[in-house]
Amino acid sequence: MTEDTKFHHGDAAADVAPIVEMKNIEKHFGNIIALAGVSFDVKPGECHCLLGDNGAGKSTFIKTMSGVHKPTKGEIFFEGKPLHFDTPRDAMEAGIATVFQDLAMIPLMSVTRNFFMGREPTKGKGLMKRFDVEQANDVCMEEMRKMGINLRGPDQAVGTLSGGERQTVAIARAVYFGAKILILDEPTSALGVRQTSNVLATIDKVRSQGVGVVFISHNVRHALAVGDRFTVLNRGKTLGTATRGEITPEQLQDLMAGGQEMAELEGSLGGTV
């Protein structure tokens, strides 16, 4: 099970205190119960994968972690203290950065303006305090280059980028600002082979710097390549958490599909899924 990856996995010791701990989170949208009591934690220097079927509640769950949704019930502890974020801005200031599934990008705005949206670097003091456009442009181009994408220019509108380029901007932005927790909701869904491996390598890099990573993916191989722990959600509940080495890829895949139907598919597709 360990030979499938070139990454040295975070050896987050079992006794390290988690950065964020979520206990029995419930989230209701009117009469829809999206989350029915999910517990989850992230430790510094680990990559915790959140897996599950479509509609299982993964995105809803990470949105309660990043301040977008307020949980209907349940508790959130940040560095040991009970806390709830009123806005995504609060979560960001605490050091949590997120790549949302919908990317949270504004097509009419330039790449740089998107990259620094809400966290613009400034220069000058008092009334002369202003958006440091030159520095912002440089940082943005540099961070994008690190992800393996060369932008034509920092003032290109995000609406004119390709799907994968857009996704990369969102990832680069989160990596740049994710001081303590980096949440990635299906970050590689539109990426090419080289960019995907860049993203996985980036996860490995920030993890080694002590950042806790939450990684959502439908791809078992990607999850296994970087994950230290795996939590599987199904219909708003956790099916359990497994540590790397405790579980085989086949078992994980079955869990992700809710334990159904995979066997049938396996036959006709020759195990290529």
Partner 1 sequence: MSDSAQVAGDERVKKEPFMTKLMKRPELGAMAGVVLVVIFFAITADDSMFTLAGIMNFMTPAAQLGILAIGAALLMIGGEFDLSIGSMVAFAGLFFGVCVVTWQLPLIVAIPMTFIFAAFVGAINGNIVIRSGLPSFIVTLAFLFILRGLSLVGLKAATGGSTQLRGVRDVVENDWLAPFFSGEAFGGLFTWLAEKGMIDTFKSGAPKVPGIPVEILWFIVLALAATYVLLRTPAGNWIFASGGDSTAASNSGVPVNRVKVSLFMLTACCAALVAIITVIDAGSTDARRGFQKEFEAIIAAVIGGCLLTGGYGSAIGAFFGAIIFGMVVIGLTYTDFDQDWFQVFLGAMLLIAVLFNNAIRKRVTGER
Ligand X SMILES: Nc1ncnc2c1ncn2[C@@H]1O[C@H](COP(=O)(O)OP(=O)(O)OP(=O)(O)O)[C@@H](O)[C@H]1O
Contact residues toward Mg ion (CB under 5 A) are 59, 101
Give the whole-angstrom CA distance, residue 20 versus residue 144.
28
Helices (H) and strands (E) in the chain, counts: 9, 12
Give the whole-angstrom CA distance, residue 64 versus residue 52.
17
Give the whole-angstrom CA distance, residue 268 versus residue 187.
29
Interface with ligand X (CB under 6 A), residue from 6, 24, 29, 89: 29
* Tokens describing residue 96: 């949590």
**What single string gives the DSSP state of each residue in 184-213?**
EESTTTT--HHHHHHHHHHHHHHHHTT-EE
| Residue 105 interacting with partner 1 (CB under 8 A) | yes
Q: What is the DSSP letter of 17?
A: P
Q: Which residues of 155-168 are buried (b: 16+ CB within 10 A; e: fewer)?
A: eeebeebeebbbbb
| Residue 150 interacting with partner 1 (CB under 8 A) | yes
| Residue 220 interacting with ligand X (CB under 6 A) | no
DSSP 3-state assignment of 47?
strand
Stretch that binds ligand X, among 49-57, 81-89, 110-118, 137-145 (CB under 6 A): 49-57
Closest CA to 15 of 43, 52, 39, 40: 43
CB of 259 to Mg ion, least distance (A): 20
Instruction: Please list every residue from 196 through 255 that binds partner 1, using CB under 8 A.
Output: 198, 201
CB of 150 to partner 1, least distance (A): 4
| Residue 70 interacting with partner 1 (CB under 8 A) | no
Of residues 32 and 269, the one with the C-beta less far from ligand X: 32
| Residue 6 interacting with partner 1 (CB under 8 A) | no
x/- string (CB under 6 A) for ligand X, residues 52-81? Answer: x-xxxxxxx---------------------
* 198, interface contact from partner 1, Mg ion, ligand X, none, CB < 5-8 Å by kind: partner 1
Greatest Cα-to-Cα distance within the chain, rounded to the nearest angstrom: 68
- Contact residues toward ligand X (CB under 6 A) are 29, 32, 34, 52, 54-60, 101
Give contact residues for partner 1 (rule: CB under 8 A): 66, 68, 87-89, 92, 98, 100, 102-109, 113-114, 116-120, 122, 129-131, 133, 145-148, 150, 152-153, 157, 159-160, 198, 201
